[in-house]
A and B are shown apart, each in its own frame.
Chain A
Amino acid sequence: MIEQLPIVNLLLLLLTALVIPLFKKKNFKFTLSLNFTVLLIVWVISVYLLYYVNTEGAFYYRFGNYHPMIGLELLIDPFSTLITFFIMTMVLLIFVYSTSDATDGIHQKEYDRYYILMFILLFSMYGIIYTNDLFNKYVFMEILSITTCSIISIKRKKQNYSAAFRYVMLNEIGSLSYLFGVALLYMVTGFTNIEMVGQSLETVWQTHPTNIVLAIGFMIVGIGLKAAIFPFHIWLPDAHASAPSSSSAILSAVVVKVYLMVFVKILFRVYGIDILSALNIPTMIMIIGAVGVIMGSFFAIAQNDVKRMLGYSSVAQIGYIVIGIGLASYLGLSVAIFHVFSHGMMKTVLFLSVGAVIYQRNTRLINAFEGVGYLMPITMGAFFIAALGMIGIPLTSGFISKFNLGLASFEGGSSPYIFILIASGILNAIYYLPIIIAAFLRDNPEKQTVLSKDKVPALMLAPIVIISIFIVGIGVFPNGLMTLIEYAVSTFEV
């Protein structure tokens, strides 16, 4: 019965997405509670799978019991269960937030469409991480790109439409160049299954290297476009500036990370470390990541719309993960996955707290944050913790990932990256501290200095507080998460 669980996960998400439109007549609370129970069930299954896989070992789920050369299969191993666990935890908390804040520009009757799209988005993320077939991954990436664009354009504002359109165009170029990479690999190996392609690439590397070089180039550009890695990040800030806060939280904390994990899966499972180092791709990736870290932070400083600034800071933090991947070492990969977790948590808290500020104060300009600390102590407290994490102050998970990244780059013999880490820490401080200073030290227009409770529904505050507790919790006791990550990274021969 255990090995049916992955399909149960996928089917539960899909069936809820199909069932929601039938409940139009029921009041909205019913659909929300139904959605929440389904998300909870899938979360419990994912946690159980994570436990089962780490104790019993990875297993395949073959459709129709066919040999992988013929049919499709899902690979359930420590890496995919860890990432799906991360996805579901984040989306569960963001879902709790979005139940009350969905009024952020979405019409009352649009709710059920928003949740249909969110469930299909979850279904496609699970599919991308589970599947072990290159073309199947492409189909799920397409579903993901349509759903992410539509949760941006669901808000009836003209900025949303143009931001969503630009996102669709760039995303589409990304997936088509990924597909071109798949076609080139198929041309030389005759398979689309990831492991079989990986094995036959070793022999084909001697006879037809140009095919593989072109395929690597197109795939890196394709997934780079979708994961908003620095030179291809143009769509991210606009998409974040206009999207509702819960969708921009999902977009930057979860969706971008899924593409980065696809990036890791393809680089280290399809191509393998020896082809990569023969073309010295890892050093190129590290350079791209480093440039992204610096340029992302520079752009973030120049913004005065908070959401756009958070978007640019996401681009910078993605640069960290890309540096981790580029190190192509055991420690480098585990730092990259750790930073997926820590950046996911911090970015969700930042976006949700900004959403709460918008919900209560209807403003999002940075210079309008004066004295908000008094009006909304809990939200701004969480924002403060997350901002400290982003800068990398000790006792937060951000510090752990920065420290390990420095260690990994030192070990990997590319120590100049430590200076980049320090420089980016300073740059982060430059654009996060003014907000905190304005919020807590300056007095607000209403001249109210006594701490008043946030006038924001409890359901919105709960996830913000829970995640900020986790930020500090993982910052202090990281080894629980580290062992899980060790299991996950051991599945790649790096």
Chain B
Amino acid sequence: MKNKIIASIFILLFVVLVYSIMQMPAGSGTDSLAYSESTEYYLENAASETGVTNIVAAILTDYRAFDTLGETIVLFTSIVAVVSVLRPDRKPKEGENNG
């Protein structure tokens, strides 16, 4: 019975989301709101400013390079985190110093 209620809550959430999506701008053309002047700037002078033909790579490593730096740090932290969890320098005996 309990998961019937939970399921109906999620269906209600889905219906609300779909209803609100129907009011959102659906324009998937160059006139859509997301296609702002920053996109036009990227497409027009990314090649000339960064000398690279793949604009995604240009944005990734030149305009928003700090994002990608954050990205590599996420990778570095995930290694340190997994090593701190899985790589005991000696087998963790239960009842190690407590508290």
Query: Do A and B make up one complex?
Result: yes
Stretch at the interface among A82-90, A204-212, A281-289: A204-212
A109 at the interface (CB under 8 A from B): yes
**Stretch in A143-151, A225-233, A337-345, A374-382 with 4+ CB within 8 Å of B:** A143-151
Verify if A154 is at the interface (C-beta below 8 Å from B): yes
Chain A, residue nearest B97 (CB):
A105
Give Cα A146 to B80, complex, Å: 10
Inter-subunit contact B97/A113 (CB<8 Å):
no
| Per-position binary interface string of chain B over residues 71-99, scored 1 when its CB falls under 8 Å from any chain A CB and 0 otherwise | 10110111011011100111010001111
* Residues of chain A contacted by B83 (CB below 8 angstroms): 113
In the complex, A116 Cα to B98 Cα: how many Å? 23
In the complex, what's the smallest C-beta–C-beta distance from A144 to chain B, in angstroms?
10
B97–A70 touching, CB < 8 Å:
no
Name the CB-closest residue of A to B59.
Answer: A70
Contacts of A114 in B (CB 8 A): 84
Contact string, B8-20, partner A, CB cutoff 8 A, digits 1/0? 0000000001001
The residue on B at minimum CB distance from A358 is: B99
B67 touches A210 (CB 8 A): no
The closest CB in chain A to the CB of B99 belongs to A358
Q: Which residues of B contact A123 (CB under 8 A)?
A: 73
Residue of A nearest to B81 (CB): A150
A103 touching B41 in the complex, CB below 8 Å, given contacts A143-B70, A190-B35: no
- Distance in Å from the Cβ of B87 to the closest Cβ of chain A? 9
Report the Cα distance A400→B58, complex, angstroms: 52
- Complex: how many Å from CA A167 to CA B97? 24
A136 & B67 in contact (Cβ 8 Å cutoff) = yes
* Interface residues contributed by chain B, number (CB under 8 Å): 40
Contacts of A105 in B (CB 8 A): 96-99
**Pair B67/A208 contact, Cβ less than 8 Å:** no
CB distance from A64 to the nearest CB of B (A): 7
Q: Given B38, B39, B70, B76, which contacts A140 in the complex, CB threshold below 8 Å?
A: B70
**In the assembly, what is the distance between CA of A104 and CA of B36, in Å?**
53
Main secondary structure of the interface of A (DSSP, over half): helix
User: Is A139 an interface residue, CB under 8 A from the partner?
Assistant: yes
Do B63 and A66 have beta carbons less than 8 Å apart?
A: yes
Provide the residues of chain A in CB contact with B85, threshold 8 Å. 150, 153-154, 161
Interface residue A63 (Cβ < 8 Å from any Cβ of B)? yes
Min CB–CB distance B9 → chain A (angstroms): 14
Chain B 29-69 per-residue mask, 1 if CB under 8 angstroms from chain A, else 0: 00001111111011000000000000000000011111100
Q: B71 to chain A: which residues have CB within 8 Å?
A: 139
Contact A116–B38 (Cβ < 8 Å): no
Asked whether A120 lies within 8 Å of B63 as measured between CB atoms, the reply is: no
Q: Are A187 and B81 in contact (CB under 8 A)?
A: no
Residues of B near A64 (CB, < 8 A) are 62-63, 65
Q: Is A362 an interface residue when CB atoms closer than 8 A count as contact?
A: yes
Residues of A in contact with B (beta carbons under 8 Å apart): 14, 18, 63-64, 66, 69-72, 103-105, 107, 109-110, 113-114, 116-117, 120, 123-124, 127, 133, 135-136, 139-140, 142-143, 146-147, 149-150, 153-154, 156-157, 161, 186-191, 204, 208, 210-211, 213-214, 358-359, 362-364
B residues with CB within 8 A of A? 17, 20, 23-25, 33-39, 41-42, 62-67, 70-71, 73-74, 76-78, 80-81, 83-85, 88-90, 92, 96-99
